[in-house]
Copies of this chain bind each other. A is one copy, B any other.
């Protein structure tokens, strides 16, 4: 397993803010309505401003590591983050990819259950967990929203369990493309061209396959005219056929 990139220092101030000078506050945040902040009223948003820390990081930055004390929760404003766990011998399983609007820390764990690492350039809102916990106690609608997110996370996990437990390589890749497309549709206009910021190795570690199998499967789907490989992404040619494949 290769090195994991720079660990984020809590006191690593230099340059941090420089990356995102255009975000002044939550009220003007374009990700607001997609994120957990959608549960906040105008006034609450103002108080939230004092708690939230806008940060941005280059690719490969480790936001937090599995096993570390969870001092912050995060809301993703931009970019892609891979969430993974490592086995002692280096085998990696990617639990999920977090994109714009996603919330990291739904479970409000004391300790991080997985490592989070920037796939590309990312912007996040970092929120002290303790303060957030207080807000949750005070604002039932925020708690409700968080629980709603937890429910969605449970669904996604169960989908992934079915995929990993019972689907073959072709079905897994098809399902991945469609589900990632679906998630992108929430934050942009739905398109048949799916940008894939993560590497083939990331996709493999997400789908429980090897990089070679992912590559071969994508080639096969392309040979069968279901998709076309484009720079940094994949275009879907036959959505219906791909869906039928993905569902098993």
Determine how close the nearest CB of chain B comes to the CB of A130; give it in whole angstroms: 16
A151 and B208 in contact, given A166-B93, A248-B91 (Cβ under 8 angstroms): no
> Which residues between 204 and 245 of chain A lie within 8 Å of chain B, taking CB atoms?
205-208
CB neighbours of A107 from chain B (8 A):
150-151, 154-155
A120 to B159, CA, bound (A): 26
A151 and B151 in contact, given A93-B166, A157-B158 (Cβ under 8 angstroms): no
Residue of B nearest to A146 (CB): B147
A160 to B162, CA, bound (A): 10
Query: Are B161 and A93 closer than 8 Å at their CB atoms?
Result: yes
Interface of A is mostly: helix
Residue of B nearest to A248 (CB): B87
A161 and B160 in contact, given A140-B137, A140-B140 (Cβ under 8 angstroms): yes
Copies of this chain: 2
Is the CB of A109 closer than 8 A to any CB of chain B? yes
Q: How large is the interface on A (under 10, 10 to 19, 20 to 34, 35 or more residues)?
A: 35 or more
Query: Are A161 and B161 closer than 8 Å at their CB atoms?
Result: yes
A157 to B166, CA, bound (A): 15
A144 to B142, CA, bound (A): 12
A88 to B243, CA, bound (A): 12
CB neighbours of A106 from chain B (8 A):
151, 154
A143 touches which one: B88, B140, B153 (CB < 8 A)?
A: B140
> Which residues between 68 and 87 of chain A lie within 8 Å of chain B, taking CB atoms?
85, 87
In the complex, the 9 A-B pairs of residues with the closest C-beta atoms, listed nearest first:
A165-B208, A87-B248, A157-B157, A107-B151, A164-B164, A150-B150, A93-B165, A93-B162, A91-B166
Q: Please, could you name 14 A-B residue pairs with CB atoms under 8 Å apart, sorted by A?
A: A87-B247, A87-B248, A91-B248, A93-B165, A95-B158, A107-B151, A107-B155, A113-B158, A137-B144, A140-B143, A143-B147, A147-B147, A150-B150, A165-B207
Q: Which of A's residues lie within 8 Å of B, judged by CB?
A: 85, 87-89, 91-93, 95, 106-109, 113-114, 137, 140, 143-144, 146-147, 150-151, 153-155, 157-158, 160-162, 164-167, 205-208, 247-248
